[in-house]
Amino acid sequence: EPEVTQTPSHQVTQMGQEVILRCVPISNHLYFYWYRQILGQKVEFLVSFYNNEISEKSEIFDDQFSVERPDGSNFTLKIRSTKLEDSAMYFCASSPVVDTEAFFGQGTRLTVV
């Protein structure tokens, strides 16, 4: 069964450092997403991406965040200068079309120290 894969599974970084989280969406899917979940809280939307550009973004997704599809398979989330409050589980997801169910990767646990 096709699945979304994310690397790394856990990343520890120092405050102020840049991090890049990587995702390989399901191959025939056209829409890609990043969500995050702070421990004990709900899953929150960050950004959606379609046709090589951002489709929608939330207020969480400020200038410190960026997304890129550097090649035909990878989808990345970059946090330029990490803060302690960026510590969370980051989930990548993809869907074949818009306004349908999304399939999630296993997540990257980001810990900022």
Partner 1 sequence: RKEVEQDPGPFNVPEGATVAFNCTYSNSASQSFFWYRQDCRKEPKLLMSVYSSGNEDGRFTAQLNRASQYISLLIRDSKLSDSATYLCVVNSGYSTLTFGKGTMLLVSP
Q: Write the CB contacts of 73 (distance below 8 Å, at least 6 apart in sequence).
A: 24, 25, 27
Please choose, out of 18-26, 62-70, 75-83, 98-106, the segment that lies near partner 1 by the rule CB under 8 A: 98-106
Site for partner 1 in 31-50 (CB under 8 A): 31, 33, 35, 41-45, 48, 50
Query: What is the binding site for partner 1 (CB under 8 A)?
Result: 31, 33, 35, 41-45, 48, 50, 55-56, 58, 89, 91, 98-107
